Amino acid sequence: MLTKIKTASLRGVDGYPVTVETDVHRGLPGFQIVGLADTTIKEAFSRIRPAILNSGYQFPREKVTVNLSPAGKPKEGSHFDLPIALGILMLGMENGMQLQDTAFFGELSLDGKINPIRGALPLALCARKSGAKHIVLPLANCEEAAVLGDVDLIPVSDLMQAVRCLENPQERSPYIRKKLADRKPDGLDFSQVIGQEAVKRALLIAAAGNHGILLIGGPGCGKTMMAGRVPSILPQLTYEEQLELTGIYSVAGMLPEEDPVIRERPFRSPHHSISAAGLIGGGQKPRPGELSLAHRGVLFLDELGEFESRAIDAMRQPVEDGFIRLNRNMEEIRFPSQVMIVAAANPCKCGHLWDEKQSCTCSAAQISSHLRKLTGPFSDRIDMHVRVPQVSERELLQRPLQRGLTSEQMRKQVIAARRIQEKRYQGLSCRENGRLDETGIARYCTLEKEAEVLLQQAYGKLGLTMRAYRKLCKIARTIADLKEKEEIGVEEAAEALQFRVIEKEQGSYGR
């Protein structure tokens, strides 16, 4: 006697189809799971047997073998409990053989209750792709999987209910989505930032061209406050992107309970003491780290100079590639990590270098070494260095009514500029100016004569490296795109030059 039940396993943030084959044969009573199961699955017997008995069913007194097919791929997760238990119970059933179109997921308690699982959305997505028309899921996971829309979800809360799904498919009751009140947006808007118009402009340019940006300013000047508003000016997530992010948060076990769908671009702000593993993810059953939780959103690195160099090194390649590679059980797992980097730092050790009220106590050598430390991390990714001034009370009083641009107005400009870039880079791997490589810069960032002269002068005067020079060209490209100009003129080049503040400061403190 052999039964087969459809389910799936997780690999990173994706699912792949698995069939649970259960066989019973005469011999000494026993239970064996084969097919590269992880420890959670191997422990399943200790949950499944009591769950079956406590639900009033019989557990076979023969030798039970469960094979998770395909046998060569590693499987992980407690959601195999339910398909394995049903495979065993089906051995004694007359009906319930027509299961080709149904997939099952759920973790069992000893009393037969079905607990929520991790990664429900990617698992359900995989089941649907592999042809399942009905998906049996723990009740608590249905709202999350319902974001898929066109799939029949059958919620179950205990084993007996799941068995009834098998015996009487016509009595199944599909899941009906909750009516949610519109989620209140977080309310963060750039119109709430008073003064700091130059920094807002810099963040607009960074968002438009997907340039990494470093905000340099003393304590309390509003760096974190402004960084937190960057997601509000990025284009809204598409449905596919929402699915992708919800899947990542589902695998991380971090979906909000009430409304388990990620609809907004994430903003993640890991503390500088975070380990490399916390950033890139990992563990025996790999979970996404901060880089993946910030996917398609903003990774904010406050106090950039304080991050351990091991952590910075671990992030470098993933930030460059847009994904993280982890090796588990001879398999490569990928976690996505396309992030916009916004970093912040003090201008010097004491923080008061540009403060009008308090004087800086650092020596010229200290300042210079502090600034040098900031140019190291992500030097390839961080194109813009911006000075964030301490906004004085006088400045605030002078223009109490001037509120500047709202996030929505800024977002419109970002979207328009990104459209131009998308069109220009059609068919290329790069989609935004911030991602242009050397060849791309030479080809797409052509400067008008005057602009070229200006940048070349700066190159000599500030002692820029060739790399910094190329960054200037990319930033100027984005500024021109914001103005819908094809050519990069002297105005755009001059504005771009403002965003190499470290080189300028270093010029005055020696290198």
Which positions touch Zn ion (CB under 5 A)?
348, 350, 353, 360, 362
Q: Alpha-carbon distance 411 to 406, whole Å?
A: 9
Location of structure tokens 């641009």: 405
Looking at the Cβ atoms of 188 and 360, the one nearer to Zn ion is 360
- The distance in angstroms from the start CA to the end CA of the chain is 78
Looking at the Cβ atoms of 352 and 418, the one nearer to Zn ion is 352
Bridge partners of residue 23, in order along the sequence: 2, 65
Shortest separation between residue 363's beta carbon and Zn ion, angstroms: 9
Shortest separation between residue 394's beta carbon and Zn ion, angstroms: 23
Collapsing DSSP states into helix, strand and coil, what is residue 186?
Answer: coil
Helix, strand counts (H, E) of the chain: 20, 16
Cβ-contact 67, 23 below 8 angstroms = yes
DSSP 15: E
DSSP 434: G
Shortest separation between residue 303's beta carbon and Zn ion, angstroms: 15
Looking at the Cβ atoms of 178 and 511, the one nearer to Zn ion is 511
Looking at the Cβ atoms of 367 and 445, the one nearer to Zn ion is 367
Q: Alpha-carbon distance 288 to 296, whole Å?
A: 14
Shortest separation between residue 360's beta carbon and Zn ion, angstroms: 3
Sequence-ordered list of residues with C-beta below 8 angstroms from that of 222, at least 6 positions apart, any chain: 193, 196, 199, 388, 391
Residue 125: CB atoms within 10 Å: 23
Sequence-ordered list of residues with C-beta below 8 angstroms from that of 61, at least 6 positions apart, any chain: 29
Shortest separation between residue 364's beta carbon and Zn ion, angstroms: 10
Looking at the Cβ atoms of 351 and 489, the one nearer to Zn ion is 351
Shortest separation between residue 361's beta carbon and Zn ion, angstroms: 6
Looking at the Cβ atoms of 349 and 424, the one nearer to Zn ion is 349
Looking at the Cβ atoms of 302 and 355, the one nearer to Zn ion is 355
Q: Are strands 134-138 and 102-104 parallel, antiparallel or unpaired?
A: parallel
Shortest separation between residue 503's beta carbon and Zn ion, angstroms: 19
The region that residue 63 occupies, defined by phi over 0 for left and psi between -120 and 50 for alpha, beta otherwise, is beta
Sequence-ordered list of residues with C-beta below 8 angstroms from that of 461, at least 6 positions apart, any chain: 507
Looking at the Cβ atoms of 233 and 353, the one nearer to Zn ion is 353
Looking at the Cβ atoms of 362 and 482, the one nearer to Zn ion is 362
Shortest separation between residue 358's beta carbon and Zn ion, angstroms: 9
Shortest separation between residue 346's beta carbon and Zn ion, angstroms: 8
Tokens of 100: 């080709």
Q: What's the CA dihedral at 459, 465, 468, 470 to 10 degrees?
A: 80
E-strand ranges in 255-316 read 267-268, 298-301
